[in-house]
Amino acid sequence: MLLSVITQNPIVLPALIGAGIALFSGIVILLVFRFFRVEENPLQKTLEDVLPGVNCGGCGYSGCAAYAAALASGEEPKTTLCTAGGQDTATAVAEVMGVEAGTVVPLVANVFCQGTTENTTKRFDYTGTPHCASAAGLFAGPNSCTFGCLGFGDCVAVCEFNALYLENGIAHVNHNNCTACGKCVDACPKHLIHMIPKHELATNVTCSNHWPAKVVRKACKVGCIACGRCVRVCPVQAIKIEDNLAVIDQEICIHCGECVKVCPTNAIRQGLLEGPEAS
């Protein structure tokens, strides 16, 4: 009776076969998982939850999971590497790891160029693909200053936090959005972007030109001519001339602004930029 129901009925047999296969696979999976279980470090999971999970790579690892793995396995002793999360994340990571929280010096990206379309000229019309990398490959780019920003926005393209924008032909950093992940630093073919300590009066020689004064003046209205007036006026000796370019040591700088006043070409800029959030 029962057998005939199973074989005759058009629903019971398919249902049985389906359920049977499902049950069998379920048992096999269960057994395999039991036999082939891999011990995972529970610490890593906790760390992954604590980290921001944006996978920007600012810590130097390929992503948050990789950093968590390095921390959990003890390969990486530093708990303050996450630039995107800042102090909060560093404290939380240190808490999980059971070590004392270090202080994170927040960094921000800065474009060391003021060669806007008003301040520089073009040596030729560039009509190739609109990328800094390709423009830089053609006679070092069309700008009169071959050290300067090309303005095609390779840095803007790689930024995942809308922290960079183009204005008057050069890139600017909106410090409110910048997490110091460092992607733009790698993207700039002219190596114009560097990380500086985040201070609202951060003072920088916003120029990267190493040419002698006469040539710089022809190429750009606001280029550093290495005259050395800022070096003499600096009360803490934070400024040095290196290879025809004044450089301010950010560790020593007290943000007094004296150098800004004496700079004849306005190459020194004080303060961080805010700007339109790039859409």
Partner 1 sequence: MKEFLIILFSVILIDNLVLSRFLGVCSFLGLTKSLKNAMGMSVAVIFVMLIATAVTYPIYWSLLEPVNLGYLQTVVFILVIASVVQVLEAVIRKAFPPLYKAMGIYLPLITTNCAILGVMLINISEIYSFPAAMMSSLGAGVGYMLAMFLFTGVREKMEKADIPDFMEGLPSTLMAASIVSVSFMGFKGVIENLFG
Q: Shortest distance, CB of residue 134 to partner 1, whole angstroms?
A: 8
Q: Is residue 214 part of the contact set for partner 1 (CB under 8 A)?
A: no
C-alpha angle with apex 182: 161 to 174, nearest 5 degrees? Answer: 45
List 5, 9, 12, 29, residue binding partner 1 (CB under 8 A): 29
| Residue among 166, 167, 198 nearest 271 (CA) | 198
Residue number, 17 or 262, with CB nearest to partner 1: 17
Q: Is residue 12 part of the contact set for partner 1 (CB under 8 A)?
A: no
List 4, 8, 103, 129, residue binding partner 1 (CB under 8 A): 129
CB count within 10 Å of CB 61 equals: 18
Q: Is residue 236 part of the contact set for partner 1 (CB under 8 A)?
A: no
| Residue among 159, 147, 166, 254 nearest 202 (CA) | 254
- For the record, the structure tokens of 150 come out as 């090309």
Q: Is residue 134 part of the contact set for partner 1 (CB under 8 A)?
A: yes
List 32, 138, 252, 254, residue binding partner 1 (CB under 8 A): 32
Q: How does strand 164-167 pair with strand 245-248?
A: unpaired
147 to each of 21, 116, 136, 257, how far by Cα in Å? 68, 13, 10, 25
List 5, 9, 12, 25, residue binding partner 1 (CB under 8 A): 25
Return the SS3 of 132. helix
Please, which residues have CB within 8 angstroms of residue 215's CB and are 6 or more apart in sequence?
none
Candidates 18-26, 73-81, 161-169, 257-265 — which segment interacts with partner 1 by CB under 8 A? Answer: 18-26
How many residues bind partner 1 (CB under 8 A)? The answer is 20
DSSP-assigned beta bridge partners for residue 109: 195
Q: Is residue 23 part of the contact set for partner 1 (CB under 8 A)?
A: no
| Binding residues for partner 1 (CB under 8 A) | 13-14, 17-18, 21-22, 25-26, 28-29, 32-33, 35-38, 129-131, 134
